Chains A and B, each alone.
Chain A
Amino acid sequence: MPFDWSSIPRALPFLWQGMVTTLQITVIAVLVGILLGTLLAVMRLSANRFISLVAAAYVTLFRSVPLVMVLFWFHLILIPLVAALLFPGKQLELRFLTALTAFSLFEASYYAEIIRAGILSVTKGQFNAGLALGMSRGQVMRLVIIPQAFRRMTPLLLTQAIILFQDTTLVYVISLDDFFRRAYNIGNRDGTLNELILFAGAVYLVICTCASGCVRQMQKKLAS
């Protein structure tokens, strides 16, 4: 069957706006995910059983539930609830905020595990060396362990970010206009759904392949 790609060039500015949304969600979720993930990792490794359990519960929860469900919980329940409490009676456009929150909290649980593994991969000898110099446990973590853990985990952290970039397409289910949903809508409108989905797929393929290639280069450099 013949393909009609003609609607794509005209739609590029519109699609680009969608890509901006996709990138915004990805970048913010990655940054918040790494920050919160580091905190969770450190909490998991704490000697205090309560702190450790709270972090473990968080990580287990978000890793056991499908992302699409997390998105729905936030979209249908949590965010409207919080909004009703903070801004009673007002009608607000909250889908972008919902996406940011849900993805950030979700990613944090995955990053927490990567970072925890990274921290544990730094030997006890390094920890002892820091302590022997008079550093507090907190100082050793901040100055000696975490910097090393991050250098080792950077390829994995970036790979997780690439996966997140692809997962953002799920905002389709909460009617948020990211790149994919916009492509889909154009295809629907013009009767060229196949073409637009192929096009969108190709865009994700190119971006992710290049990004993965960069990560591999980085891994080679780090290994040497």
Chain B
Amino acid sequence: MISIRNLSKWYGEFRALNKCSTEVEKGEVVVICGPSGSGKSTLIKCVNGLEVFQEGEILIDGVSVSARKTDLPKLRARVGMVFQHFELFPHLTILNNITLAQCRVLGRSRKQAVEKAVQLLEMVGLSEHQPKFPAQLSGGQQQRVAIARALAMDPLAMLFDEPTSALDPEMINEVLDVMVNLAQSGMTMLVVTHEMGFAKRVADRVIFMDRGEIVEDHPKQRFFENPATDRARQFLSKILTH
């Protein structure tokens, strides 16, 4: 489904990503973890072309992200993304946040879009907040709406860039619950996160990145029980103590 091959990216002289390669199969849930500055966010933003890269290739369902003839907006519409800071559109109601792209990008009728939006809001437990504006919702609620907004496009896969990092601790679980349900329903997911509990629950594989490189890429059991590298071991020991 998602193929990352020999991906390298530079910011001027600084090499942010160094020959990263991995595959995400349909229905797989892959967690990317690692220390700050390891390039995890950069990597995931390259997947849907929000960041450009100089070397390597990314294929989504066989379509190359960086090829000139690729219709990038069309490709992006097939992959949902959830951001660390939610990024709901503050000037639109919750309902319209979810219907906007459905109508303007996918060309759905208002009726279809609203139906879908209502259904998804119910799924994330926020039906009664339809007419409200994002500023009236808590962080956890906003992030759940953001997930619904991405799902409304019926994506092939979902990308999550540290979805709970900006949340107060008591709100993290409500978002993780939605993500767990999504994973269990068979969605292909690539998740950058520090939440190892989530990884242990639903991840199929865990990728550990450090200084722009993919250091480990193993099935979750193997990663948690027996990390191959010292760097991963160190990272896990720091993270798992609390």
Residues of A within 8 A of B (CB): 125-126, 128-136, 139, 143-144, 147-148, 151
B75 to chain A, nearest CB (A): 8
Whether B105 lies near A139 (C-beta < 8 A) is yes
- Residues of chain B in range 46-60 having any CB-CB distance to chain A below 8 Å: 48, 50
* Contact stretch, chosen from B29-37, B61-69, B81-89: B81-89
Task: Tell yes or no: B91 within 8 A of A by CB.
Answer: yes
Whether B104 lies near A139 (C-beta < 8 A) is yes
A19 to chain B, nearest CB (A): 36
Number of B residues with CB within 8 Å of any CB on chain A = 26
Closest chain A residue to B159, Cβ basis? A132
Chain A residues, CB < 8 A from B79: 132
Chain A residues, CB < 8 A from B83: 125, 128-129, 132
Whether B77 lies near A133 (C-beta < 8 A) is yes
Bound form: Cα–Cα A133–B49 in Å: 12
Task: Tell yes or no: B76 within 8 A of A by CB.
Answer: yes
Chain B residues, CB < 8 A from A125: 83, 85, 87
- Report 18 cross-chain contacts, Cβ distance below 8 Å, ordered by A residue: A128-B45, A129-B87, A130-B89, A130-B101, A131-B73, A132-B80, A133-B149, A133-B150, A134-B76, A134-B105, A134-B106, A139-B104, A139-B105, A143-B104, A147-B91, A148-B89, A148-B91, A151-B91
For the complex of A and B, the 6 pairs showing the least CB-CB separation, nearest first, are: A134-B77, A129-B87, A133-B101, A132-B81, A134-B105, A134-B76
A191 to chain B, nearest CB (A): 57
Bound form: Cα–Cα A126–B88 in Å: 8
Whether A144 lies near B89 (C-beta < 8 A) is yes
